[in-house]
Every structure is written in C-alpha cells, then in structure tokens.
Amino acid sequence: MNKSRKPRWRLAATTIGLWLVSVVPLVGQITLDGDFDHGSLDEAGSSAVGNFVSLAGRDNYNPGEWKWLYFSANGVSTSQVTTFQIDDDFTFGGSKLNGHAMVYSYDQQNWLFFDNNIRNSGAGTFTFWDTTPFSQSQIYVAYGLPYSYQRIVDHTAQMTASPWVSPTASGNSSLVIGQSPGGIDDLGRVVAPRNIFGYQITDTSSTFPKKKIVLTSGIHANETLGNHTLEGLVDFLNSDDLEASILRKYADIYVYPMANPDGRFAGYNRSTVEKVTFDPNRHWESPNYDGQSDIQVVGEAMIADTGADVDYFIDFHSTVAGKTNHFGWVDMDPPNEFHLDPFWQNLLVLEPTLGTLDSSMVNLTAQKFGLDALSANFTTTFETQFIPGENIDRFQTLGRNFGVAFEQAVSTFADLNFDSELDTQDWLLFVAGAETDLSALTPIEAYEQGDLDGDGVNSGLDFGLFKQAFETANGTGSFALMLTEVPEPSIGYLTMLGIFFFSAAIRNRPRRNS
C-alpha cells in the first residue's frame, strides 16, 4: 500500500510544485504605474491577470472617455506574449482608434509600435500586443510617442550652450520666461509650478533687419507630436547645415516650446491644471487670458519679446482626425490668403503629402493671436497625426523641412552680406573669396566667400551662379553694367578665371540660326 501510495504523493506534490512555479508567480505579477511626468492611467480601474492586462483610461477633460494613455508595466514576461486591452470610449469616438497603433519602450526614449492593434467595435475594445515576448521585464506603453515635460527641460538646457541661442527680453540666462501656476490635478496630486521657457535663435553677426518667426507648441497637453516636430525644427536651426546658417542670418526665431507645462506633467488630455474646464487654445487674449496664468506668461512674452510685429507664427499641435496626413490650418480667404505665402508653398514642395485646410481663424486661438496681437503676415495651427510607423525621426525630418522652407522664403541667393540686396557689395565679397582656400571652412563660411554650390571652392561654376542670380535680381545686362563701376580687383579676378574673355567670346560668337 505504501509502495503504491508514495509515487502518487510524489506525483501530486510534483504537480503542485510545477503549478506553483509556472502559474502562481504570474498571477498579479505585472504592476502598472501611471504616476510620473506625463503618465496617464486609471490605475484603480486597471488590472493584470497572468499575461493579460486590462486598462482603464483617464481623462480629466472628457470624463468617461480617454485620449492620452502612458504607463509603465513592471514584471512583464520575457518568455510569453503580454496582451493589453482598453475600452474604445475614446474622445471623438472609438472609430478614431481604427488603424491606430500603440507604442512601447524600454527606456522612454526609443519607441516601437506594437505589431498587433485590433479594435473590436462590437465588444467596445481595443486590444494590442507584440507577436514576440518583450526582451525586458519593465516596459513603458503609450497611446503615441510621448514628450514629457522633463524632455523640454533637458532640451532647453542644451540650448543654453548653443552659440546661436540667447534669452529673449522676457527671459533669464536659463531661458526661463516665467512659472506655471501648478495646482491640484484630477487625482488629487500636487503639481508644483514649473519653469516656462522661451529663447531666441539668430546669428548676431548679421545686423541687417531680420524676419521674425514665432514658434510655439504644447498648448494642448497630449499633443506630443507637435513638440517632436518643433524639437526637430529647433535642432535644425542650431545646426551647421548651410540652410540653417543662412536662415539665422536673415531671421530672429522666437521659440516658446511648452505653453502648458502643468497639463503635460499631469498627463492631461487637453487642458491646463489651473483651468481644467477650459480649452487652453480658446483664451489667448491679452492681458489676462481669462485667468490662464501659463498661457498669459507665454502670450505676454511673445508680445514683449517681438515688439508685437512678426512675420511668421507657427503653433504646433497634434490631432486624431483620421490617420491620413499632417496638415496646416491656413487661412485661404482674402485678404490673408496665407496659403500663397512662399514659406508654405516651399514646405508643400519639400513635404508633398502635407495638407492645407482652410482655417476659419477661430477667435482667441494662438493662431488668431498671432494675427491680432503679433501682426503676423502668416499664421497657422499645424496638426500632426499619430500614424503607425511614423516614429520620432519622421518628426525630426518634418521639423527640419519647416526650417528649409523658411530659409528658401526669406533668403536671397548669393547675397553674401545678407542685407537682402544682391549688389556690388556682394560682388566684391565674392571676388575677395576667390583668393582664399575655403576647404577648412564651415559651409556658411565658404558660402560667404563665394562657394555658392557647396563644393568647397569659389570657381567658375560659382561665378556662373553669381552672375545668373545677379541678372535675375537686377535685370538683363545689369551684371556687365555693374562691372564697369567696380574697382580693379574684380577685373583681375575675371582675368584669372578667363571668364571675362570666355563670356565675351560667347557674346560675339555668330548664332547658327540667325
């Protein structure tokens, strides 16, 4: 009897042991946390059983719905697939989740899109999982590419080291223009006041009158792609790229990167912490902005810093209106007809998939503030969309193309002293550069000495480009006329290149068909 019993005991004990090892540690093993900068999760309503995580969204602005989601999951399996599910009570309707892809990260910096993202409208659920198990047991999961308040702090700290960045009239040496009010958020947490930043990007060696460009983002708390696009633009503006260097000669760029820091930190969907029932983009009215102190800090700084007379105003947002393309709200009606502005037209060439939607210039939006309070000649609310596969690098490129489009719109080619006139002064600079070794110079230094095609030398090719640009700007025959009025050195230059003779020969050559 004992003989037959013992194996059964052992078998049972072994089975229980295996069950304990394989199952018990998994139950309740995953812990969820949305309590960090920019995090958002209804933790109490969320739970994990085994490898299945049931999520509840949190939204301070549209109760009962959700629009922003960002949390960490600790203890996820590295050998089995983890599945997440949330209801589809999404702001503006569950259909806005059709075609959407959630993202995850191990370090909150590099993000990946989940392989599988399924909305079941009948069940009212949105379910997402990766086909293979995670490689680490702690992951971060978000609705879209996050952009925390701390990211603005860190990026702005980098800006203080840039030779092209300086405080605005409203700012201090840390590029701080004021503080947000802080407050108590919908979860009862104390949100401390935070720095609001503003700074100016330009090349101070260029002292001729400049175009003024105002850039802002982060008004709506969850519209992170607007911030990624603006960061891409700012990084370009601080680069040694020739287009960026030229743009800095012609433009003062005023950057206010995070207009609603409290809302961003608190993981809000749309509003500030101070005025939870307000749409912060409907109260841009100097001087008190309906009591929105954070918006007031930014708006008043824009007015004081720019002298309330700017050329361009861009407010970077994000939206969920379909998963098609990014687009600008641009007033196409007379007298504004902003869509005809060379900047916008250049941007559409660089970014052919961008859309232009006719803006009705809604009152008390930042876009309208740009027109009314800052007298902008062009103003837009630019909307980026959360599109599966479009990662941070996409928005870096998009931001860069904004910069190139600005450069093309405000610069004059071959204007080597950057006074927006193509004249004798530029020709003399061009000639002086012909005697200099340009090979060790930065792209802009070489350009200033006549390397117009970026090949590292001031050669006959550059001469052709200069002459063509001069005649385009000043009329046919204007270049030869100018040569008769300039000092000797330029004639020496032409002789050196043999171009004067060459052009004369072409001019005098009989035409075959005449």
Site residues (CB under 5 A) for Zn ion?
Answer: 220, 223, 317
DSSP 147-169: --HHHHHHHHHHHTT-TTEEE-T
Q: How many CB atoms lie within 10 A of CB 49?
A: 12
What the block records as the tokens of 462 is: 């550059």
Strands 195-197 and 176-179: antiparallel
Q: Are 386 and 320 in contact (CB under 8 A)?
A: yes
User: Closer CB to Zn ion, residue 67 or residue 220?
Assistant: 220
Cis peptide before 342 (omega within 30 of 0): no
User: Closer CB to Zn ion, residue 177 or residue 225?
Assistant: 225
**How far apart are the C-alpha atoms of 186 and 23, rounded to whole Å?**
37
User: Closer CB to Zn ion, residue 220 or residue 326?
Assistant: 220
The DSSP symbol for 267 reads: T
User: Closer CB to Zn ion, residue 382 or residue 463?
Assistant: 382
Q: In what order do the strands lie in the sheet containing 52-55?
A: 47-49, 52-55, 83-87, 125-129, 116-120
Residue appearing with tokens 């719905």: 65
Smallest distance from the beta carbon of 220 to Zn ion, in angstroms?
4
Strands 116-120 and 125-129: antiparallel
Smallest distance from the beta carbon of 290 to Zn ion, in angstroms?
17
User: Closer CB to Zn ion, residue 30 or residue 230?
Assistant: 230
Question: What's the distance, CA 506 to chain centroid?
Answer: 50
**How far apart are the C-alpha atoms of 103 and 255, rounded to whole Å?**
28
**How far apart are the C-alpha atoms of 201 and 212, rounded to whole Å?**
10
CB-side neighbour CA atoms (13 Å) of 36? 15
Question: Which candidate, 241, 162, 185, places its Cα nearest to that of 36?
Answer: 185
Smallest distance from the beta carbon of 258 to Zn ion, in angstroms?
13
User: Closer CB to Zn ion, residue 233 or residue 446?
Assistant: 233
User: Closer CB to Zn ion, residue 223 or residue 426?
Assistant: 223
User: Closer CB to Zn ion, residue 320 or residue 414?
Assistant: 320
Helix (H) / strand (E) containing 179 = strand 176-179
Smallest distance from the beta carbon of 80 to Zn ion, in angstroms?
39
Helix (H) / strand (E) containing 202 = none
Q: Are 229 and 223 in contact (CB under 8 A)?
A: no
Q: Which residues pair with 256 in a beta bridge?
A: 216
Smallest distance from the beta carbon of 129 to Zn ion, in angstroms?
30
Smallest distance from the beta carbon of 268 to Zn ion, in angstroms?
12
User: Closer CB to Zn ion, residue 248 or residue 270?
Assistant: 270
Smallest distance from the beta carbon of 404 to Zn ion, in angstroms?
25
**How far apart are the C-alpha atoms of 312 and 282, rounded to whole Å?**
20
Smallest distance from the beta carbon of 478 to Zn ion, in angstroms?
49
User: Closer CB to Zn ion, residue 212 or residue 283?
Assistant: 283
Smallest distance from the beta carbon of 249 to Zn ion, in angstroms?
33
Smallest distance from the beta carbon of 382 to Zn ion, in angstroms?
10
